[in-house]
Amino acid sequence: MASQDWVDKDFYKILGVPKDASDADIKKAYRKLARKHHPDQNQSTGGSDRMFKDISEAYSVLSDPEERQQYDAIRAMGSGARFTAGGPGGAAGGAGFEDVFGNLFGQSAGRQRGGFGGGSNLPPEFADLFGGGGYSSGGGFPGYQAPPRKGADRTASTTISFAGSIRGTTIGLREPSGEVIDVRIPAGIRDGQKVRVRGKGQNGPAGSGDLMVTVNVKPHPFFQRDGDNIRVHVPVTFPEATLGAQIEVPTLDGEKVTVKVPAGTPSGRTLRVKGRGVKTSKVTGDLLVTIDVVVPQNLNKDAAAAVEAFANATKDADPRASLAEKARL
């Protein structure tokens, strides 16, 4: 553009930013206005093309630190004034606008940026503005080519044992071509989580995509996963629950841990054993032991007599005494 235009046009006002706006503010303002006024988005609006050109000119200057410095100096020195061209016909000794500021900054202050000022072109950093292309019906940014992309990701699924999910394992997925892809399953993976195998997706100009493997975990007959905790149900006898006991409970690592059952423990109470749950690279869960009081099915004569004696000794205790109060509507 001509240098005189730099005096006439307020690029800050065009972009709607203050004179001390940061680069990020300028870029944000341009992005918003370019999306609003781009001719491809406003083909039925006559003024959008002119507005878009003004917006692009403003951004082309203010986004360049060197040109912005020149623009600010020219606006400060030339505000409210007109300059005549140098040479014949000009004022005596009259260096023109171009000469004055060209000498001041060591180059022509009025040079036009050879990028995106005209038409409906966008600078490459805004190539994603309209869905990733950044191209317009006018031919797109001169000389700009979209960067090559990686190939698309592929998906697969596999099923592993509960032990494999706890300890970690490696499985092999066979391709139709016969190639076997090794997939490392990290310790502590949960049912339904995905594992990424890099570079095993579809081929592309910028390299291959990835293989996303969904991992399904078979249930275990004893251990049940609850987040990073492990739940187990452990049967205890009536005397153990009534009088209290020390019981042994299996853990994930194959060892047994001793758990204290307090006297008077009811069926369904859960006891916690710290640090005996699922171990991952980030956390270690707990073992949650739910007590199931076992009612004997077959009693011999002595056991039946003992239960009868116990019943007689505790006949005044009524565990259902408060039911009527609780059942009131």
Q: Which residue's structure tokens are 């073992």?
A: 287
**Band of the pLDDT at 72, cuts 50, 70, 90?**
confident
Nearest of 116, 138, 142, 132 to residue 30 by alpha carbon: 116
Average pLDDT over residues 47-69: 84
Q: Report the pLDDT value the prediction gives residue 48, as an integer from 0 to 100.
A: 67
- How far, rounded to the nearest angstrom, does the alpha carbon of residue 50 sit from its chain's CA centroid? 39
Q: Is 134 a residue whose pLDDT tops 60?
A: no
Q: Report the pLDDT value the prediction gives residue 132, as an integer from 0 to 100.
A: 47
Longest dimension (CA), the chain: 133
Return the CATH class of domain 3-126: mainly alpha
User: Which CATH superfamily does the domain covering 224-313 fall into?
Assistant: Urease metallochaperone UreE, N-terminal domain (2.60.260.20)
CB-CB contact of 120 with 38 (8 Å):
yes
**What 3-state DSSP class applies to 105?**
helix
**Band of the pLDDT at 124, cuts 50, 70, 90?**
low
**Band of the pLDDT at 53, cuts 50, 70, 90?**
confident
**Band of the pLDDT at 271, cuts 50, 70, 90?**
very high
For 27, phi then psi, to 5°, come to -65, -40
Q: Higher-confidence residue: 28 or 143?
A: 28
**Band of the pLDDT at 133, cuts 50, 70, 90?**
very low
Average pLDDT over residues 280-298: 93
Find the helix or strand (DSSP H, E) in which 230 lies.
Answer: strand 229-236
Average pLDDT over residues 226-236: 96
Q: Higher-confidence residue: 190 or 114?
A: 190
Polymer length of the chain: 329
Query: What are the extents of the domains in the chain?
Result: 3-126, 154-217, 224-313
- Name the token pair of 124: 């490459």
Fold of 154-217: HSP40/DNAj peptide-binding domain (2.60.260)
Q: Which residue's structure tokens are 């293989």?
A: 211
Considering the entire predicted model, what is its pTM? 0.54
CB-CB contact of 29 with 16 (8 Å):
yes
Q: Higher-confidence residue: 162 or 60?
A: 162
**What 3-state DSSP class applies to 181?**
strand
Q: Is 277 a residue whose pLDDT tops 80?
A: yes
User: Are both 154-217 and 224-313 of the same fold?
Assistant: yes
Identity of the residue numbered 59: Y
Q: Which residue's structure tokens are 């990686």?
A: 150
**Eight-state DSSP code of residue 137:** T
**Band of the pLDDT at 90, cuts 50, 70, 90?**
very low
- Name the token pair of 250: 């299996």
d(CA 84, CA 248): 100
